[in-house]
Amino acid sequence: MSRVLVIPGRINRRLLTRWARVVTADGNTVGRTAMLQRHRPKRDLIEGTPALIVIDIQGELFAEREPGPIPEMPNFDERMALARKPIDKARERGIPVIFIQEVHRPDLVDFGRELDGAEDVHCLENDPDTAIAAKVLDFRPTDYHIRKRRYSAFFGTDFEILLKGLKVDTLLLCGGLTDVCVHYTFVDGHQSDYFCR
Residue 58 has pLDDT above 70, yes or no: yes
Burial (CB count <10 Å: 0-12, 13-18, 19+), residue 107: exposed
SS3 77: helix
pLDDT digits (tens, 9 = 90+) for 35-44: 445 567 889 9
* DSSP summary character for residue 181: I
- Selection from 176, 181, 191, 178 nearest residue 77 by Cα: 176
Using the predicted structure, report yes or no on whether residue 34 has a pLDDT greater than 50.
no
pLDDT at res. 69 = 64
**Strand ranges for the chain from DSSP E:** 4-7, 16-24, 29-36, 50-55, 97-102, 144-148, 170-175, 195-196
Does pLDDT of 159 surpass 90? Answer: yes
pTM: 0.78
Domains (range + CATH), the chain:
4-36 (no CATH), 50-196 (3.40.50.850)
Cα 174–chain centre separation: 8
* Per-residue model confidence (pLDDT) at position 74: 83
Average pLDDT score over the chain: 84
| CA dihedral over 124, 152, 81, 77, signed as positive or negative | positive
Q: Would you call 144 helix, strand, or coil by DSSP?
A: strand
Reported confidence tier of residue 67, pLDDT bands at 50, 70, 90: confident
Digit-coded pLDDT (tens) for 95-139 = 999 999 999 999 999 999 988 887 889 899 999 889 999 999 999
For residue 164, the SS3 value is helix
